[in-house]
């Protein structure tokens, strides 16, 4: 097996897999991380092989996800998924083996769970480099850089797109890295320059075109993956220093928007919910430390936004006034 190399932010992932279907699936996930970092990547090795039997679900003592449980063992991390696919690392957590059963418990030939396993491998590597992974969007202009926080489907991408159309730039819509720079200031870095857009986005932003002709991003969503620069050229940035946090509450069927401030405790609560914190004290402490150092540096805003506001210049101008 000859290894294929993928750059995923600060990681250099070497993939070894002989089955072409499995390779395509793993590569699909690795190729999401399209922002090239100008540094030599920390090597991570992934070997994918076939197993005879589906793996039994682990307890999830380290991390419990919807379709994947992860345990920490003296030998490294181990994860199992509902399909019976599994992975485990060595003690360094830099060398991983993904095993895909010939017959999965879910009947899939190439299970969707592989994306979860690859995500675990990448986030582990990123945390080992002291980055905090954030499931947030980010928009920036002049001296303002705002983290956009909402649950999946809660409007991060839509608001990002609305502000891009007004001249803002973005670091991404749902996967960012947070760290502390050499002066101890929080800094955000981009990982992905694609958006996951629902075909309905067209009714606000006709320039996205008919997204329904594209393949779905995953089996669990109607969204499609699109390259941001193909729709909004020169809108991507790679690095920014956050100044604000916006907690987004979308109200379907409503119009307009309302803005109110968040106090420090509320802001910290929102920020803590933007990341996965494994059930391992040393790892959790690092994450908590970075987030509590970041929270006091941000000005927090709670935004309740109706559907029509994304195309309403007066509403978006009001939001900008609150941020600038």
276 interacts with another protein by CB under 8 A: yes
73 interacts with another protein by CB under 8 A: no
Q: Smaller CB distance to another protein: residue 73 or 292?
A: 292
70 interacts with another protein by CB under 8 A: yes
| Candidate list 265, 311, 313, 324; residue touching another protein; CB under 8 A | 265
HSE-up (13 A, CA, CB side) for residue 83? 23
Two structure tokens written together for 315? 């509403």
Q: Smaller CB distance to another protein: residue 295 or 323?
A: 295
| Candidate list 272, 299, 304, 318; residue touching another protein; CB under 8 A | 272
Task: Compute the distance between CA of residue 309 and CA of residue 159 in angstroms, rounded to an integer.
Answer: 9
Whole-number minimum distance, CB 218 to another protein, in Å? 10
Whole-number minimum distance, CB 237 to another protein, in Å? 20
288 interacts with another protein by CB under 8 A: yes
Task: Compute the distance between CA of residue 87 and CA of residue 55 in angstroms, rounded to an integer.
Answer: 10
Pairing of strands 239-240, 186-190: antiparallel
3-state SS string for 119-176: HHHHHHHHHHCCCEEECCEEEEECCEEEEEECCCCCCHHHHHHHHHCCCCEEEECCCE
Nearest to 75 by CA among 54, 60, 95, 100: 95
Listed in sequence order, the residues at least 6 apart from 76 whose beta carbon sits closer than 8 Å to its beta carbon are 88, 89, 90, 91, 92, 93
Task: Compute the distance between CA of residue 212 and CA of residue 232 in angstroms, rounded to an integer.
Answer: 19
Two structure tokens written together for 185? 């200031």
Whole-number minimum distance, CB 313 to another protein, in Å? 31
Binding mask 32-61 for another protein (x = CB under 8 A): ------------------------------
Nearest to 267 by CA among 235, 243, 250: 243
| Candidate list 7, 51, 279, 318; residue touching another protein; CB under 8 A | 279
| Candidate list 27, 57, 277, 318; residue touching another protein; CB under 8 A | 277
Nearest to 46 by CA among 97, 80, 87, 102: 97
285 interacts with another protein by CB under 8 A: yes
Pairing of strands 244-251, 144-149: parallel
Size of the residue set binding another protein (CB under 8 A): 41
| Candidate list 64, 92, 200, 255; residue touching another protein; CB under 8 A | 64
| Candidate list 18, 289, 311, 313; residue touching another protein; CB under 8 A | 289
Whole-number minimum distance, CB 310 to another protein, in Å? 21
Q: Smaller CB distance to another protein: residue 182 or 263?
A: 263
3-class SS of residue 296: helix
- Which helix (DSSP H) or strand (DSSP E) does residue 283 occupy? helix 281-294
Report the site for another protein in 115-174 (rule: CB under 8 A). Answer: 115-116, 119-120, 122-124, 133, 135, 151-152, 174
User: Residue length, the chain?
Assistant: 324
Q: Smaller CB distance to another protein: residue 123 or 201?
A: 123
Give residues in contact with another protein (CB under 8 A).
Answer: 63-68, 70, 115-116, 119-120, 122-124, 133, 135, 151-152, 174-175, 220, 265, 268-269, 272-277, 279-281, 284-285, 288-289, 292-293, 295-296
């Amino acid at each position: 097996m000859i290894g294929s190399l993928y750059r995923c932010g600060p990681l250099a992932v070497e993939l070894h897999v002989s089955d072409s279907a499995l390779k395509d699936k793993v590569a699909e996930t690795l190729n999401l991380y399209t922002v090239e970092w100008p540094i030599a990547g920390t090597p991570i090795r992934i070997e994918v092989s076939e197993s005879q039997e589906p793996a039994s679900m682990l307890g999830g003592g380290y991390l419990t996800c919807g379709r994947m449980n992860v345990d920490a063992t003296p030998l490294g991390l181990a994860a199992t998924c509902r399909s019976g696919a599994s992975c485990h690392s060595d003690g360094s957590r830099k060398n991983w083996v993904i095993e895909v059963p010939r017959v999965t418990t879910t009947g899939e030939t190439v299970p969707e769970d592989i994306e979860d396993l690859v995500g675990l491998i990448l986030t582990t590597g990123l945390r080992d480099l002291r980055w905090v992974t954030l499931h947030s969007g980010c928009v920036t202009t002049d001296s303002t850089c705002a983290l956009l926080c909402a649950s999946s489907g809660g409007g991060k991408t839509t608001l990002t797109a609305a502000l891009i159309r007004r001249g803002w730039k973005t670091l991404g819509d749902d996967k960012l890295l947070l760290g502390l720079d050499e002066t101890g200031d929080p800094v955000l870095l981009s990982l992905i320059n694609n958006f996951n857009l629902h075909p309905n986005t067209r009714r606000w932003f006709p320039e996205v075109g008919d997204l329904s002709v594209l393949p779905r991003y995953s089996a669990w969503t109607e969204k499609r993956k699109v390259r941001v620069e193909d729709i909004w050229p020169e809108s991507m940035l790679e690095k920014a220093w956050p100044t604000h946090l916006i907690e987004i509450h979308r109200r379907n069927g409503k119009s307009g928007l309302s803005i109110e401030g968040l106090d420090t405790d509320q802001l910290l609560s929102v920020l803590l919910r933007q990341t996965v914190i494994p059930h391992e004290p040393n790892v959790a402490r690092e994450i908590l430390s970075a987030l509590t150092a970041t929270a006091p540096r941000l000005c927090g805003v709670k935004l309740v936004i109706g559907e029509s506001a994304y195309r309403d210049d007066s509403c978006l101008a009001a939001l900008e006034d609150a941020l600038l």
